Amino acid sequence: MSRLLDEIKKYQDKFKNKVPVDIQETMLSATKKLGELGLSKNALKRGAKFENFEFSDIEGKDVKLYDYLNESDFLVINFYRGAWCPYCNLELKALQNSLSELNSLNARLIAVSPQSPDNSLSTKEKNELQFDVLSDFENKVAKKVGLVFSLADELKPIYKSFGIDIPTSNNEDSYELPMPATYVINKNKEIIFSFIHEDYTKRSEPKDIIDAIKEHLLKSVE
């Protein structure tokens, strides 16, 4: 079992021991229902091309996706829900731990969420991230990519009891969130790796991302 999955398993064991069973069952049921919708089937996947989408950086300035590719051979884009999500934080830290190897492959890493720029900055500082953390206001890009869903009504009071305030985090009231997703794009803006899952506890392993880039490099010299 790889390191990220180990960390997720540790968190889940702690969660099960401290959260009432009825709340756990409600959360699991909502995740199952979302999975049954099969939203990930309609998301952008390997072989498709990314447009030159626009985001906001932590200072609120507009940035273009292709600008990152001008400086690198590959772009890794991680869509996450927000700093309030423990699974997202574990994933971001795992990506940070893999940053030196990604850099050695001339791969640029960015993370994207619907959070406001101020909250994106908090995410970056909290997790000591050395890569860009961008804001996708109102999930505009995530919607075009096919990642967005609305949080189930039965989860809203549960999240509130956990101290999670999604409208404040995102600076809008829709309760829309992106499914966890990671993409690797090459110089031609083509997706060479994609991971999308309705279950927010499922995350892409950094090793799989790195292996996909190495495989692409090998094929390009054959």
Backbone φ and ψ of 22, nearest 5°: -65, -35
Question: Beta partners for 35?
Answer: none
pLDDT at 220: 76
| Regions in the chain scoring below 50 on pLDDT | 1
CATH superfamily of 3-221: Glutaredoxin (3.40.30.10)
**Residues 96, 105: Cα–Cα separation, whole Å:** 15
pTM (predicted TM-score): 0.95
**Residues 41, 47: Cα–Cα separation, whole Å:** 14
pLDDT at 189: 96
pLDDT at 222: 62
Question: Beta partners for 195?
Answer: 182
Reduced to 3 states, what is the DSSP secondary structure of residue 78?
A: strand
Name the residue ranges covered by the structural domains of the chain: 3-221
pLDDT tens per residue across span 182-218: 999 999 999 999 999 999 999 999 999 999 999 999 8
- Tell me which residue of 77, 84, 211, 205 sits closest to 147, measured CA to CA: 77
pLDDT at 219: 82
pLDDT at 1: 41
